[in-house]
């Protein structure tokens, strides 16, 4: 199928593209909606402006929409408009997304796509989190953690590039503290700096680490794509 991708720049949406392409689908465009703040329950927030570098690295056209409200209805309306634009401009037949467990997101995406006659492809839905994290690293995906909100995840994880040994630590901590190892519950957010889809690696030049004692975020203020 000719697909558009809901793209946030994190590991899940990027890996969903990788899986879709490996199954023979054509990813014609990326659709990225910039939420007003981190309070959004539907959309990914940290460092989302840098998806332009990732889109360039994948050589896939990107449709972007900025929002001035966190109201879920406005987010849904604007996402629907963006997907309509993708359908008109690129002739997409469906949409791929990286949802794993969030029924809230999945239901919203399916409702929107159904209303404009687009299919939905969710290659990571209900995947085993442990197997998934192993597959990510084994497949050559390099990503950093850009926010943490779960007990057990402190500021030492912010900006950290995840290796296989880190995966094992995360799995053990998820079991101990009761969070989702793949971060599907919003326990953390990620940003992909390199993967088999990219023509180069994204190098972080400047960044800020913000920590309030319970949760924090890693803000990338300058980055470049090294071909």
pLDDT tens for each residue of 54-80 = 999 999 999 998 766 666 778 788 889
Same domain, 78 and 115: yes
Residue 183 sits in which domain range?
Answer: 129-226
Which CATH number covers residue 148? 3.90.1490.10
CA-based nearest residue to 97, from 30, 36, 2: 30
CA–CA distance, 124 with 152 (Å, rounded to integer): 25
Same domain, 161 and 189: yes
- pLDDT value at residue 156: 97
- pLDDT value at residue 150: 93
**N- to C-terminal Cα separation, the chain:** 29
pLDDT, mean of residues 166-174? 96
End of a domain among 67, 95, 121? 121
User: What is the value of pTM for the model shown?
Assistant: 0.93
Same domain, 99 and 194: no
36 band by pLDDT with thresholds 50, 70 and 90: low
- pLDDT value at residue 41: 45
CA–CA distance, 58 with 200 (Å, rounded to integer): 9
**How does the average pLDDT of the chain come out, rounded?**
92
pLDDT, mean of residues 124-128? 95
Q: What is the domain count for the chain?
A: 2
Same domain, 91 and 182: no
Is residue 21 within 8 Å of 59, Cβ to Cβ?
no
End of a domain among 100, 121, 142? 121
Instruction: Round the CA-based radius of gyration of the chain to a whole number and report it.
Output: 17
Q: Please report the sign of the dihedral spanned by the C-alpha atoms of residue 109, residue 114, residue 116, residue 118.
A: positive
């Amino acid at each position: 199928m000719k697909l558009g991708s809901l793209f946030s720049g994190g590991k899940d949406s990027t890996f969903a593209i990788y899986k879709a392409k490996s199954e023979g689908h054509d990813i014609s465009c990326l659709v990225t909606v910039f939420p007003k703040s981190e309070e959004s329950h539907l959309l990914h927030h940290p460092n989302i402006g840098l998806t332009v570098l990732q889109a360039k690295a994948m050589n896939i056209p990107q449709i972007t929409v900025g929002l001035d409200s966190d109201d879920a209805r406005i987010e849904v309306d604007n996402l629907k408009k963006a997907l309509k634009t993708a359908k008109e401009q690129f002739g997409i037949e469906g949409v791929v997304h990286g949802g794993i467990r969030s029924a809230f997101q999945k239901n919203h995406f399916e409702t929107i796509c159904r209303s404009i006659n687009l299919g939905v492809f969710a290659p990571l839905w209900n995947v085993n989190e442990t197997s998934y994290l192993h597959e990510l690293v084994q497949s050559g995906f390099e990503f950093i953690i850009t926010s943490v909100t779960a007990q057990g995840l402190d500021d030492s994880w912010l900006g950290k590039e995840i290796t296989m040994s880190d995966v094992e630590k995360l799995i053990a901590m998820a079991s101990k503290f009761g969070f989702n190892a793949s971060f599907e519950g919003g326990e953390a957010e990620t940003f992909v700096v390199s993967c088999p889809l990219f023509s180069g690696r994204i190098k972080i030049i400047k960044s800020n680490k913000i920590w309030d004692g319970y949760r924090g975020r890693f803000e990338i203020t300058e980055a470049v794509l090294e071909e």
